[in-house]
Each structure stands twice: as structure tokens, then as C-alpha cells.
Amino acid sequence: MIVAVAGGKGGVGKSTVAYNLAAVLDAAVVDGDLSMANLPAGTGPTLHDVLAGRADPREAVRGGPVTLLPCGRSLAGARAADVSALGTALAPVELDHGTVVIDCPAGLRADVGVPLAVADVAVIVTAPEPFALADALRTRGLARELDAPLAGVTLNRVVDDPPIPTVRSALGAPVESVPADPRVGRSVTEEQPVVDAAPDSESAAAFRAVAARVERGEGSRQSRSA
């Protein structure tokens, strides 16, 4: 199964959600943002090299608390990468690991559509602020155009009472609220998923709930074709 984690606006914690969701699902996470990568890079080949035909996808996957296929940081690498080859590149990774979580680029750039098009199911990440919800609505529209089924919405970095009914009504999908938690914010840079660092926290429970919806295949292409 391929899971696309998308969000209309940068800065809502999309990469953090993708990383922690992959940890719960025991999946490989792929940094699919070719021009603004956020997940740890390490050394060795990256998605840039894979999409430019310079490396095999399996060579670029690295282990750790969360299995990761990183993306390069250079503009030249982004330009050389053929994003249309993403589906082919992910096939052996999915074969090896069962589930692949793609951290999609933010916004509505052309390279956002490719991960949504190849995914079996999508998760949208947004924040409680109205401007973030407006961007999430645009991402929801793009997902519909590409027939990308939506398993749920992650309302991230919540401080006060989350506007769950409003978000659920606007995006037409179940909503899980992830409270503002510094352990979540540090999880990517420290490579320590919150389900490991704080397994009894509300944040960990929220990521497990999102993962459960994905595992049940709610709305996925696979469930609809079954």
C-alpha cells in the first residue's frame, strides 16, 4: 500500500506526521519533496538519484528507527529528477516493506499530483488556523481530481479545543487531532518517533488512530476495487 501524506500549506508539520505515521505502520517513509526536502538525509544515494536513473531504489533506502528513502537537497538534483518515474521507483520499496508513506510537497505544484496519483490512500495534514484549512481544501480538491481516496485528516499542533466538526464537514473525512507536543516537533530531527519516545502520550494515540484508518483501508483504491 502507498500512502500519500499531503497538505496545502507548508509549515503545518506534514513531514512530521508522515514520519510518525510510518513509524506506527512499520512502513518505509519517502521524502517526496524534490525541491524542499525535510526528512533526514544521511549519506548515499537519494530519491534525486533514483528519479534521475543514477541509483536503484533499494540502494537509496536506509534503516533506522523508521526506514527512510531520503531526498537530495540540491537544485540541480531536483531538476534532473523525473517525477513521472515515481510510481516505478516506489514499486520495489513497496514490495520489500509492504507499506510506503510519501511525504508530499506542500502546496499545489505540479509534483504534488504525482504522489497523489500513485497512492492507494491519502492523509491530509492541516492546522487549526483558517488559512491552513483553506489550503487543505484546495489539496482535497486536487486529491478528488486525481481519484486519490482520503482516509482521514490530521489536525496538527492543536493547543485549544480543536475545530473537529468544522474540519470534518469541510473536508469530508474523519479527523484526528494531534496536540502541540515538543516531542513530536523533535521526532524527525532526533529520529525518535513519538510512539517510541512517549508511547502513552495523546500524540502517540492520535498517530495510532490515523494508522488504524489507513490499515483498515478506509476509502482506499484497494477497498473500493475489492
Residues of the chain with pLDDT under 70: 108-111, 217-226
159-211 residue pLDDT tens: 888 888 888 998 889 999 999 999 998 999 999 999 999 999 999 999 999 99
101-117 b/e (C-beta count within 10 Å ≥ 16 → b):
bbbbbbbeeebbbbbbb
pLDDT computed for residue 108 by the predictor: 65
Tell me which H or E stretch contains 123. strand 121-126
pLDDT computed for residue 223 by the predictor: 46
pLDDT computed for residue 226 by the predictor: 43
Instruction: Report the distance separating Cα 174 and Cα 67, nearest Å.
Output: 27
Instruction: Report the distance separating Cα 190 and Cα 107, nearest Å.
Output: 26
According to DSSP, the residues that pair with 146 across neighbouring strands are none
Instruction: Report the distance separating Cα 184 and Cα 195, nearest Å.
Output: 9
pLDDT computed for residue 41 by the predictor: 83
pLDDT computed for residue 56 by the predictor: 96
Rounded alpha-carbon distances, angstroms, from residue 175 to 13, 30, 67, 140, 172: 15, 23, 26, 14, 9
pLDDT computed for residue 224 by the predictor: 45
